[in-house]
Chain A
Amino acid sequence: MFVAKSIAADHKDLIHDVSYDFHGRRMATCSSDQSVKVWDKGDDGEWHCTASWKTHSGSVWRVTWAHPEFGQVLASCSFDRTAAVWEEIVGESNDKQRGQSHWIKRTTLVDSRTSVTDVKFAPKHMGLMLTTCSADGVVRIYEAPDVMNLSQWSLQHEISCKLSCSCISWNPSSSRAHPPMIAVGSDDSNITYSGKVQIYEYNENTRKYAKAETLMTVTDPVHDITFAPNLGRSFHVLAIATKDVRIFKLIPMRRESANSSGPTKFEVQVMAQFDSHNSQVWRVSWNITSTLLASSGDDGCVRLWKANYMDNWKCTGILRGDGSPVNGSGHAAALSQIRSSLRESS
């Protein structure tokens, strides 16, 4: 059902994140070896590493691309308590011939007192805005007011979540019906504050972010969180990686009075819940049309979930390492498949 092709990443330590750019022609990888590598897909369909450089003084947890409207821009975050913004500089012609490009640091964001666990750019219609979250429980939203000068960033908002934060996700909807909304997940094992997912919404009047919702039913540590692309729906869909995979539907409720100034109230429903990993789920991610959700868990599997036209969710595929060491050169195109006859406990 699937074919796999491997590429030697050449990092000297664990890879923590891989990120495709908007068009899927470039890729960035980051590692505990403190570096980030950028890869370009050639016309031949092969990936070539075009840049590799040390970015932090600790493990780099996440790397992410800005929208190409802002140019070739990357952000990274690290155990070293900082997040950084990088821009590609158009190099000399001999660099191009050698297939190398240069990235320079535009800014370092040092506000966090602890490891910065996630970094994400806000949806492009909000401008060039970068968001970080840290183990110190603070979500920080920065803005570059002049998109031509990426060395100037101002800290616009600090949201104190009271719990150590592990992940953030922006609602990608650019509809005017929905104010900017960000979901924050916490992997804190604190049981006093039981709701581990908080949703903040921007208020035009106060010009601040206010908490709109806490998902009280999510009581276990949350490792990843992601809004689904909005397909013109009036409600929002949010997937969460916790002790299982959970998909929530957030339906904005009509405001009682036209002038009500508080954040939107939501009706929260569980669209689906999967515990097939039978263990901690660490990552969840939607494909571009939100028709497929992928999740990765402690069981060493990546599972793909799909809803049919009747909105019934099912697992449609499983990926797992075969436990063999990688061949040296790394271009083993292989197709291997077994029909799992084990009934997954559901």
Chain B
Amino acid sequence: MEEVDVEPSTTLIPGAGFYQKHLGFEWGPGDLIVYETNYKLQGPRSAGSPSVHIVRRDEDICSPILRKLFSESHLIFVGLQKIKEDVFVSISKNYRSVIRACMEELQQNAGKRSHDTHPVSILLAIELIWNLCEVLFIDAAPAGSLLLQLLDWVRLHKSDVDAKAREVLQSDSPAQHQSYWDVISLVLQGRTDEARQVLSKQASLRAESSSVFKRMDGLLQTMPIFNPTGTQTLTEFEVKWRHWHEECDRCLQDNTFASNRHLETICKILVGDEDTLLEQKELLSTWYHFLVTRLLFTHPTIKPPDLHYYAQSSMNMFLGPRASPEPLDIILLSAFEFDLHQVIKDCSIALNNWWFVAHLTDLLDHCKLLQSHNLHFGSNLREFLVLEYASGLFTHHSLWQLAVDYFDHCPEFGRVYLELQIERVPLDTERKAIKVLRICEDRQMSEQVRSICKIMAKRALRNNRLGSALSWTIRAKDAAFATLISERFLQDYSNKGSFTDLDLLDNLGPAMLLSDSLTFLGKYREFHRLYGEKRFSEAARLLLSLMTAKIAPRSLWMTLLTDALPLLEQKEVKTDNSCFTVTQLPQ
């Protein structure tokens, strides 16, 4: 299949290009900075005050209501990855109901925010396409059911018919209502019972024409509808349908409805007269409604492989020679042609966000449809799209957490993408840093853990928060930095005469062993604590071991000796060992 070459669109940056012709740029998190410059480094200096421009994709990610779509579909996605049974149709319906909920909420708010109307129409299109894909690919309805499901599809997306019909029926004199004959819409949608109900209003009024209405009522009542769960085979249905069709045709030949042009029109519709159907363009409003109606009254037992022929011709007939199809039309046509790859590709191009193609393709992959449609790079395609979608989420200040699960389910590149992007999450607060850390720790991303802890430690150190710096350093397992911070602590002690962050120092535990200086710091503090608790012999033993271990920094040797002096005066302390050690200490 050929690549449809879509021309890239050009975006104009207001306020750039006036003084200087060149544009410089730099990638940011989810955006680009663009600025005027002159790479030739010669030529006119900049007369005005230059600006920089932050440019980002106009993405739906910014709408708070769409964010709900992202978080709820995330739950469905994660659930889908774990299931083993064939419940794909219901998962597809779940996704669609999430889309609908989002759409309704947007429509409710439509009055308040003008820039929400665009997403509404996008969501409508998305749901329309998804629904069709569900019918054709996931549910894979066979002949017979296929048409019924397509009818449902059309009815769902042209729901104003219900409202209109209700309005007519609830009015004082329905038969006099100006939209009365829009009952045709019901017929076009194959809703014969409801159509009969509306027509009965007319029948009760005019006695002379009641027989005509009764005749129409009869036709409508006897129209065969295939029952997929019933015992009737498709062939039997077809025979029955053909008889009924011939009966409708006979009515036309006999001019049964000649007295009422509306009923005559309805009869022509029942026999599937193309010209008559095309005359109902306004009521049908779309070529795919025309397609389904046409099939309903001419080929109700249409088989999936035959669909594309009727789709193409319906579109051509409906749109006429002058109108050209919209992107949505092309996508639907590709679906009717069972060209999955084209559907995905065209959706990727037409939509501003990867949400739709990523989730749909993932679902189709689970249904094993990508392989069966000769997409041997199928799972690569799925992963590619999911990675794109998740990467887009990552730039958002709260949605990035959802992205993590998506990366987890991309076996080839998910991990490395996550490693790259999680490092860049701004560590605004300790709480956020810990959240990021936990994600990395859960996945044994040790380098990212170390790096994040180091960044936090360094930041704490710059702001003179030694305790915080030390805990982060211990978490980073950074021995060199631990030494540095320990030395700072000791320096502080030398200057002030007391320790800070006692809680931390007293509870170092085995972390103390990270570096010699840290060990010394911990033990030295312990010495002071023992001394303070008057446990002199323990204190003395500890001090001794500190001196013998030679891990004390040089600057503190005098201090240690000074610390030893009062101990020597204590009666409980053994003096012989300490004298021996004191002489051993280098001068």
Which residues of chain A have a CB within 8 Å of any CB of chain B?
1-20, 22-25, 27, 29, 31-32, 47, 59, 68-72, 90, 124, 148, 174, 223, 229, 231-232, 280, 282-283, 285-289, 291, 294, 296, 298, 300-304, 308-310, 312, 314-327, 330, 332, 334-341, 343-344
Minimal beta-carbon separation of B408 from chain A (angstroms): 16
Instruction: Tell me the bound Cα distance from A303 to B8 in angstroms.
Output: 9
Residue B140, interface by CB 8 Å: no
Residue B259, interface by CB 8 Å: no
Asked whether B24 lies within 8 Å of A4 as measured between CB atoms, the reply is no
Residue B33, interface by CB 8 Å: yes
Contact with A along B69-105 (1 / 0, CB 8 A): 0000000000000000000000000000000000000
Instruction: Tell me the bound Cα distance from A47 to B7 in angstroms.
Output: 34
Question: Which of B27, B454, B455 contacts A20, CB < 8 Å?
Answer: B27
| Closest residue on chain B to residue A298 by CB atoms | B22
Asked whether B28 lies within 8 Å of A301 as measured between CB atoms, the reply is no
| 6 extra A-B contacts, CB within 8 A, seeds A308-B384, A324-B15 | A23-B426, A69-B451, A294-B25, A319-B13, A323-B17, A337-B9
| Closest residue on chain A to residue B385 by CB atoms | A309
Residue B421, interface by CB 8 Å: yes
Question: Which of B10, B25, B51, B427 contacts A9, CB < 8 Å?
Answer: B51
Asked whether B13 lies within 8 Å of A316 as measured between CB atoms, the reply is no
Asked whether A90 lies within 8 Å of B420 as measured between CB atoms, the reply is no
Residues of B within 8 A of A68 (CB): 455, 458-459
Q: What 9 A-B pairs have minimum CB-CB distances, sorted nearest first?
A: A321-B17, A321-B16, A24-B29, A326-B15, A309-B384, A322-B12, A282-B39, A2-B11, A23-B426
| Closest residue on chain A to residue B381 by CB atoms | A309
Instruction: Tell me the bound Cα distance from A323 to B10 in angstroms.
Output: 14
* Known contacts A25-B426, A300-B21; is-contact A19 B13 (Cβ 8 Å): no
* Known contacts A337-B9, A340-B7; is-contact A13 B46 (Cβ 8 Å): yes
Residue B36, interface by CB 8 Å: yes
A to B CB contacts below 8 Å, 26 in the list: A7-B53, A14-B36, A15-B37, A15-B52, A18-B35, A23-B425, A24-B29, A29-B52, A68-B459, A90-B462, A124-B451, A148-B484, A231-B416, A231-B420, A288-B421, A291-B391, A309-B380, A309-B381, A317-B8, A318-B10, A320-B16, A321-B12, A321-B18, A325-B18, A327-B15, A339-B9
Asked whether A336 lies within 8 Å of B14 as measured between CB atoms, the reply is yes
Residue B558, interface by CB 8 Å: no
Residue B463, interface by CB 8 Å: yes
| Closest residue on chain A to residue B7 by CB atoms | A340
Residues of A within 8 A of B281 (CB): none
Which residues of chain B have a CB within 8 Å of any CB of chain A?
3, 7-30, 32-39, 41, 45-46, 48-58, 352, 377, 380-381, 384-385, 387-388, 391, 413, 416-417, 420-421, 423-427, 447, 451, 454-455, 458-459, 462-464, 484
Minimal beta-carbon separation of B319 from chain A (angstroms): 21
Question: Which of A12, A69, A296 contacts B25, CB < 8 Å?
Answer: A296
Residues of A within 8 A of B53 (CB): 4-7
Asked whether B32 lies within 8 Å of A294 as measured between CB atoms, the reply is yes
Instruction: Tell me the bound Cα distance from A297 to B38 in angstroms.
Output: 10
Question: Which of A2, A90, A298, A340 contacts B58, CB < 8 Å?
Answer: A2
Instruction: Tell me the bound Cα distance from A8 to B15 in angstroms.
Output: 10
Most buried by B among A1, A303, A314: A1
Most buried by B among A11, A14, A280, A340: A14
| Closest residue on chain B to residue A71 by CB atoms | B458
Residues of B within 8 A of A174 (CB): 447
Minimal beta-carbon separation of A120 from chain B (angstroms): 14
Residues of A within 8 A of B10 (CB): 301, 317-320, 337-340
Asked whether A341 lies within 8 Å of B51 as measured between CB atoms, the reply is no
Asked whether A17 lies within 8 Å of B24 as measured between CB atoms, the reply is yes
Asked whether A289 lies within 8 Å of B54 as measured between CB atoms, the reply is no
Residues of A within 8 A of B454 (CB): 69
Instruction: Tell me the bound Cα distance from A255 to B50 in angstroms.
Output: 52
* Known contacts A70-B458, A336-B14; is-contact A20 B23 (Cβ 8 Å): no
Instruction: Tell me the bound Cα distance from A6 to B16 in angstroms.
Output: 9
Minimal beta-carbon separation of B375 from chain A (angstroms): 10
Asked whether A18 lies within 8 Å of B26 as measured between CB atoms, the reply is yes
Minimal beta-carbon separation of B376 from chain A (angstroms): 11
Minimal beta-carbon separation of B572 from chain A (angstroms): 43
Asked whether B14 lies within 8 Å of A324 as measured between CB atoms, the reply is yes
Residues of B within 8 A of A70 (CB): 458
Residues of B within 8 A of A71 (CB): 458, 462
Question: Which of B18, B38, B51 contacts A8, CB < 8 Å?
Answer: B51
Asked whether B455 lies within 8 Å of A302 as measured between CB atoms, the reply is no
| Closest residue on chain B to residue A341 by CB atoms | B7
Asked whether A1 lies within 8 Å of B24 as measured between CB atoms, the reply is no
Instruction: Tell me the bound Cα distance from A316 to B33 in angstroms.
Output: 17
Asked whether A287 lies within 8 Å of B46 as measured between CB atoms, the reply is no
Asked whether A336 lies within 8 Å of B11 as measured between CB atoms, the reply is yes
